Structure 1
Amino acid sequence: MIKKWFIIFVSAFVLFFSIGVTSSSAAGSQFIIINKANNQLAYYENSQLKRVFKVATGRSPSLTPEGKFKIVNKIVNRPYYKKRIPGGDPRNPLGNRWLGLNARGTWGTTYAIHGNNNPSSIGKYVSSGCVRMYDDEIEWLFNRVKINTPVIIITSRKSFDSIAAANGFKVTPHHGTPTVTNGEILKKGSRGNAVRELQRKLTSLGYNTKGVDGIFGSNTEQAVRQFQRDHRLTVDGIVGPATKKALKSK
C-alpha cells in the first residue's frame, strides 16, 4: 500500500514539474523591457525586437518598481475594485486588458501593464505604479505574451538590445532606431483624411462638426466631447483608442 502511494506521489510530482517546465519554456522566447527614461516598452520574440510602444509610468521614480519580474496573470476587463467600477465600463481606469506582475512581493494584483481610459496620459509620468498603454496596443500585446514572460523595468540611456544583453538575453541586433508604435490620436490641430472620416462619422450620428474639411477645429472638438459625454467616455475632446472603439461600434 505504501509502495502504491509512493508511486502515485512521484507520478504527480513529475506531472507538476513537467507542466511548470512547459509553461516556462513557452514564455522563454519572449520578453519585455520597459525603460522609464523614455517611457517606452519593447516586446521581443525569438530574440528579435518586434515592436516598441509608448507607455505611462509612475508620477514619481519610486512608484513603478524596477527589476526583473514575470507576468503572472492575464485578465480581460479587470474590475476597478477601489471605486467599484466593473470591468469593461468606459469609466474603468484599468482599460480592457491586465498583465499582472509579481513585483514587490505581490502576485499580479497590484502592479501590471494595463490599458486605460485616458489615452492623453500615455508617454507621461502619471500613474500610481502601473505601466499604462493604449487600449488597442495592450490588446495586441495581451494576445501574444504568455504567463511567465520576463519583464525588465529599468531607467537607462542604453538601447533596448544593450539592456537585453546585460540581463542575459540573446538578441539579434536591431539596426537603426526602432519605430515607436503610437495609437493614432486625433485632436485639435490634427489634419487629413482620418479627420475627414471622423467628421463624416460624427455627422452621420447626429453630432454636427459644421463641415467635413479634414481640419480638427473647435467645432469638431465640441462634437467629439458631446459624443464622449453621451457614451460615458472621458470627456477630453481627444479621439484616442476608447473613443475610436465607441465610434466604430456605432
Structure 2
Amino acid sequence: MSYRLKSIVVFIGILGLSLGMITSTAEAAQNEVIIINKSKNQLAFYENGKLEKVFPVATGRTKNLTPEGKFSLVNKVKNRPWYKGNIPGGVPGNPLGPRWLGIKVPGDWGHTSGNVYGVHGTNHPSSIGTFASSGCIRMYNKDVIWLYERADKNIPIYITSSTSSFPALAQKYGVGKVETAVTGQDQFSDTLYYGSKGKSVKILQRKLHITADGLFGPNTLSAVKKFQKSKHLVIDGIVGPHTRAALFSK
C-alpha cells in the first residue's frame, strides 16, 4: 500500500471516529435533560425522554442571582475546592459538597467554562428548598452524587420560574417521551397514607410533582403535608376525601 493511500485510510478512520463521538454526544444531549424550576425550588432529571427523579434544591437569594434560560452542562468535578474561602475539596467545611456540575452561562469570568454557576452539594442541608445561594443550585449531597453519576456533559439544562408541572415544561422544551399529565379521568378513590403502594400513589405523586415511584414514603408524606397546609386542610399527611377533593379541584 502506498504512503498516500495509507494516509487516506488513516484520515477516513479518524473522521469516522470523530463523527461517531459527535453523534454519541448529540444523542446524550437529546436523551438527558435537566429542568430546574426556581419557583418551586425543584430539579427534574429526564433520561430517554422519561422523568426519572425530582429533587428539592436551593436557588438564588434574589430572583436575578440564578440565571434563567437554556444552558449546557460543561464540566463535572469531584470534590471541587472552594477557592474563594481557600477550602480544599472533600472536607466537611466545603460549601460545594462532594460534586460540582458546571453550567455554561454566557458572560461568566471563565468565558462560559462552567466555573461560576453550577449544580453542587452543600454543607448547609437546611438551606435546601429555600432561596439561599449566590446563584448556584444546591442539592443534598446524596442527591448531587446520584445526578453526577447519570448526567452526561453537554446535556441541556433549562432554568425557569414557572407554575407549570415538569411534564408541562418538558412538553414546552420538546423533551422526548413526555409523561401524560394527570387528567380529570386519572384519579383514585382510596385513602392513602404513609406506607401505601401502587397506582393510586403514583397518581398522587404526579399531582404533587414529585418522583412517581408508587411508594408513599417520607418525600410523599412531606409533599402531602405541604399541600394540605397550602389548602388550609388538616395537616395529618393522610389523603382522605377532603385532600382528594382539593387535589382534583379545578
Same fold (TM over 0.5): yes
CA–CA distance in structure 1, aligned partners of residues 87 and 102 of structure 2: 18
Q: What TM-score does the superposition give when structure 1 sets the normalisation length?
A: 0.66
Match of residue 177 from structure 1: 208
CA–CA distance in structure 1, aligned partners of residues 147 and 71 of structure 2: 17
Seen in structure 2, the aligned counterparts of structure 1 residues 123 and 180 have a Cα distance that, compared at 3 Å, is farther
Alignment of 1:133-152 (within 5 A): 133-152=139-158
CA–CA distance in structure 1, aligned partners of residues 152 and 180 of structure 2: 24
| 8 Å Cα contact 1:54/1:180 also seen in 2 | no
Match of residue 131 from structure 1: 137
Match of residue 17 from structure 2: 15
Which residue identity lines up with residue 24 of structure 2 in the other structure?
T
Seen in structure 2, the aligned counterparts of structure 1 residues 10 and 80 have a Cα distance that, compared at 3 Å, is same
Aligned pair 1:40/2:42, yes or no? yes
Name the SS of the counterpart of 2:142 in structure 1. Answer: helix
| 8 Å Cα contact 1:94/1:115 also seen in 2 | yes
Match of residue 69 from structure 2: 67
Deviation at 1:15, TM superposition (A): 2.2
The RMSD of aligned alpha carbons is 2.4
Match of residue 163 from structure 1: 169
CA–CA distance in structure 2, aligned partners of residues 178 and 116 of structure 1: 24
Which residue identity lines up with residue 27 of structure 2 in the other structure?
S
Q: Give unmatched runs, 5+ long, in structure 2.
A: 183-206, 220-250
CA–CA distance in structure 2, aligned partners of residues 9 and 65 of structure 1: 42
Alignment of 1:51-66 (within 5 A): 51-66=53-68
CA–CA distance in structure 1, aligned partners of residues 13 and 54 of structure 2: 43
Q: Which of 109, 116, 128 is residue 110 of structure 1 equivalent to?
A: 116
| 8 Å Cα contact 1:71/1:150 also seen in 2 | yes
How many pairs were matched up?
184
Q: Which of 73, 78, 81 is residue 79 of structure 1 equivalent to?
A: 81
Q: Give unmatched runs, 5+ long, in structure 1.
A: 185-250
CA–CA distance in structure 2, aligned partners of residues 166 and 15 of structure 1: 34
**CA-to-partner distance for each residue in 1:179-213, whole Å, 9 max, x for gaps?**
369998xxxxxxxxxxxxxxxxxxxxxxxxxxxxx
CA–CA distance in structure 1, aligned partners of residues 218 and 81 of structure 2: 24
| 8 Å Cα contact 1:27/1:145 also seen in 2 | no
Deviation at 1:113, TM superposition (A): 0.5
**CA-to-partner distance for each residue in 1:124-168, whole Å, 9 max, x for gaps?**
111111100000111111111111222110011111111111112
Name the SS of the counterpart of 1:163 in structure 2. Answer: helix
Match of residue 242 from structure 2: none
Deviation at 1:9, TM superposition (A): 4.5
